[in-house]
Chain A
Amino acid sequence: MTQSVLTSTGASPPLPEGLQGIVADWSSDQRAFKKVPWGKAMMWIFLLSDTFIFTCFLTSYMTVRMSTTVPWPNPSEVFALTIAGHHIPLILIAIMTFILISSSGTMAMAVKFGYEKNKKMCSILLVVTAFFGASFVGMQAFEWTKLIVEEGVRPWGNPMGAPQFGASFFMITGFHGFHVSVGVIFLIITAIKVLRGDLDRQRPGFMTGRKGNYEIVEIMGLYWHFVDLVWVFIFAFFYLW
């Protein structure tokens, strides 16, 4: 490379793009993921492993649904609600979907305001995201209660059809709801860190000596968008299929 002279601003020489860039990044004998903070690359690796876990759940659901000779309960009917005398199919799930998408929107904007060091807007948007997430979990609790108490769905059987319905439902939505709950807790922690200026003062975070900075908001965002992403697949395969 001829452009090895560093400028006074400390800017690195331009990195090669395209396939040549992949080879250069991986063979650079340094860290492979350039221009990405260490924590962000690790969050991506974690999300990759989480993708495999959720796909295993959804694949096992597909297998039991394909192999059962008993009719599968119609999710459109099972999750219908009667509101003000109108019988609306799948309405609660639709509301939950819109809430989670809205939380993704506010999260994305929180990341933007974080990098602008706009503490107020960033923490407000994080708290709004956490609020949406908590209301999502609340609606899920309502849905579970209705299914268990009123419809008699159990992991080993239900009155509507194939007994595998309950096991698949509780496993998949339960694991997703757990992810949302953990996300809400960490959103609140991140909002507090932003609001009291930890990230401006580079105060080290929880269980680490690394200096705090606004990258943690983006890393938090990656996790939260992933939770939304998983819901997109659950909505399509479990509720709509």
Chain B
Amino acid sequence: MAHVEGQQHPISVYLWIWGLLFVLSAFSYLVDYFGFQGYLRWSLILVFMLMKAGLIVAVFMHMRWERLALMYAILVPPLCLLVLISLMAVEGDYTFVTRASSFGQGSGVPVEHPYRPHGAG
């Protein structure tokens, strides 16, 4: 029977990550509070989101201390989802263009591109 080791790390590691997650969440919220728009808004949201996700998976879920076999088995398959997202983005854009050209003009429905949901940027 293989000896199984528990994940033992000093408590300061968790407290540090907790604090960082708080700060990053506050930054995410401030992006909305200050009303940043356009590419600045989306890139800031994505950067803070990915940093938070990375910290949670790496430290709280102990992924950085696991062996590569488990790391790759769990973290590589979700990359397939990027293909799904890209395909559906192309599809959504096509549907939008089709709707705009077929129903948009003179139908009384205001046409606004969804990339600019707040009407600015």
A interface vs B, CB < 8 Å?
Answer: 10-12, 15, 17-19, 21-22, 25-26, 32-37, 41, 44-45, 47-48, 51-52, 55-56, 59-60, 62-72, 74, 76, 89-90, 94, 97-98, 101-102, 104-105, 107-109, 111-112, 115-116, 214-215, 218, 221-222, 225-226, 228-229, 232-233, 235-236, 239-241
Contacts and interface: CB of A to CB of B under 8 A. Distances in A.
Nearest to B86: A59
B97 to A, nearest CB: 9
Contacts of A116: 8
Contacts of A55: 78, 81, 84-85
Contacts of B70: 33, 36, 41, 44
* Chain B contact residues, majority secondary structure: helix
B82 to A, nearest CB: 10
B74 to A, nearest CB: 5
Contacts of B117: 65, 71-72, 74, 241
A71 B112 contact: yes
Given A36-B66, A89-B32, A112-B14, A68 B114 contact: yes
Contacts of B31: 240
A225 B7 contact: no
Contacts, number: 196
Interface of B: 2-9, 11, 14-15, 17-18, 21-22, 25, 28-29, 31-33, 35, 41-42, 45-46, 48-49, 52-53, 56-57, 59-62, 66-70, 72-74, 77-78, 81, 84-85, 88-89, 91-93, 95-96, 99-100, 103-104, 109-112, 114-115, 117-119
Nearest to B117: A72
30 contacts: A11-B3, A12-B2, A12-B3, A22-B72, A32-B69, A33-B69, A35-B2, A35-B5, A36-B70, A44-B73, A52-B81, A56-B84, A64-B92, A65-B92, A66-B96, A66-B114, A67-B114, A89-B33, A98-B22, A98-B25, A104-B56, A108-B14, A108-B18, A108-B59, A109-B14, A218-B62, A225-B61, A228-B56, A236-B46, A239-B32
